[in-house]
A and B are shown apart, each in its own frame.
Chain A
């Protein structure tokens, strides 16, 4: 399904879905009607009178109704309300459970992180990385904050492997760690600790790390594959 979806505006939603179903060959009409219901699409309205989000729903029904082995979506949830976004996620999960594959190209990184098993990062047409989300996070930077009961000196931690951006202030240590946090934790354990917070790296931060901070990322997107077999 293309990001810029153009449909026959003079047809109603159901007419268009009928036409596309006929072009495909066999379509389970009951399943189509169920999809229309689940996405809360009014199939009697002409496409030209539909909002962007509702057109998107027509496209989603068209894509899912033929139960393809491989679904490719470009920015599938742009313009959708949160309820329909959630339904879209359910539909993707159902496709995955049935052993089918969904590719999503998206700038909505929280959505990708939430929905996808594997992520590919593309920059200027080159595939920079293909990893599972967890592996990507494993290798990524981790932000740690440790509250000590008493004051600690920054020099105790500054030389530790993988520790960066170290700031110690009023007994609170803040840093980013690349790779294992083992050395940091063992050093910190020599002092009395009040609390440790590990701030999970979002896909967005990993993504920015790949792109370098502050660079234009307009034409690039994160791409995902959710694989049932993987």
Chain B
């Protein structure tokens, strides 16, 4: 029964959003994996990328070798679309956890039961982690199936490493949104600031290979750690993963403390 506690209730709340995001990301990945052989026969993707020059680097093609499925997926999906999707998904749901209960007024009745504010935030957070994991598991299965059907090479372990980084990136942005919403009680502000931050970090990372001066602030961008170690080819870089996990942990702690101390507007 999904009405046992705040964790299971949140899973219940997230079941449809998770289903659709999983399906969307999974189908998109399967589509690219399936069509890769056709694409690579029709176009010489590398020469197209070459011609586009610096502009294409904005799309994350800086380490692009589009002649393999791994490189193709990296350019088409893992550099921009998938991180944007999972970060927006995580930030979207996390921003509604406490702020949503506050704006609906349900926080009144929820906190009148023996549920501490800390447990409330942590149980909802745990549900978000599960939702993100479900999304990448579906994605993994779709991608592996698509690659197998098109007889392309896609190492399952390397794909898994990239998806671990994807989850950690999603959690980092989700926790940032959670912290802002716990601090302000304002869902719109939480989504807005997080998305703005995400865009800024993406641009810093993508442009740093073109614009020299940006290299200095590149370590501040979470995207630097997300694909910086090239997990689709090199596997999991524990250092990069630790940075993302640490950022997520810090913002989760901020969210808990902020929500515990704030005078809730109910």
Contact = CB atoms under 8 A, between A and B. Distances in A.
A19 interface: yes
A6 B109 contact: yes
A24 interface: yes
B114 A23 contact: yes
A20 interface: yes
Contacts, number: 36
Contacts of A15: 3
A6 B3 contact: no
B3 A22 contact: yes
Interface residues of B, number: 15
A153 interface: no
B113 A23 contact: yes
A6 B264 CA distance: 15
Given A22-B3, A22-B4, A2 B109 contact: yes
A180 B225 CA distance: 86
A95 to B, nearest CB: 17
Contacts of B46: none
B118 to A, nearest CB: 15
B121 to A, nearest CB: 15
Contacts of B114: 23-25
Judged by DSSP, the binding face of B is loop
Interface in A2-37: 2, 4-9, 11, 15, 18-20, 22-25
A62 interface: yes
Contacts of B9: 19
Residue from the set A9, A22, A25 with the largest chain B CB neighbour count within 10 Å: A22
A177 B247 CA distance: 74
A6 B105 contact: yes
A20 B109 contact: yes
Contact of B3 (A9, A18, A59): A18
Contacts of B104: 6, 8-9
Given A19-B9, A24-B114, A2 B3 contact: no
Given A19-B9, A23-B115, A24-B114, A5 B3 contact: no
Residue from the set A2, A8, A11, A25 with the largest chain B CB neighbour count within 10 Å: A8
B34 to A, nearest CB: 37
A24 B109 CA distance: 12
Contact of A2 (B1, B4, B108, B113): B108
Residue from the set B5, B9, B109, B110 with the largest chain A CB neighbour count within 10 Å: B109
A105 B110 CA distance: 21
A4 B109 CA distance: 10
A15 B114 CA distance: 18
Interface in B41-66: none
A2 B111 CA distance: 12
A25 B109 CA distance: 15
B117 to A, nearest CB: 14
Contacts of A19: 3, 9
Residue from the set B3, B4, B105 with the largest chain A CB neighbour count within 10 Å: B3
Contacts of A8: 104, 106
Interface string B1-29: 10111100100000000000000000000
Contacts of B4: 22
Contacts of A25: 114
B181 to A, nearest CB: 18
A22 B106 contact: no
A5 B109 CA distance: 8
A22 B2 CA distance: 11
Contacts of B1: 18
B145 to A, nearest CB: 34
B109 A62 contact: yes
Contacts of A2: 108-109
Nearest to B107: A6
A62 B113 CA distance: 11
Contacts of B109: 2, 5-7, 20, 59, 62
B58 to A, nearest CB: 41
B188 to A, nearest CB: 19
A183 B115 CA distance: 61
A5 B5 CA distance: 21
Nearest to B106: A6
The 4 closest A-B pairs by CB, nearest first: A6-B105, A23-B113, A19-B3, A2-B108
5 contacts: A2-B109, A8-B106, A22-B4, A23-B115, A59-B109
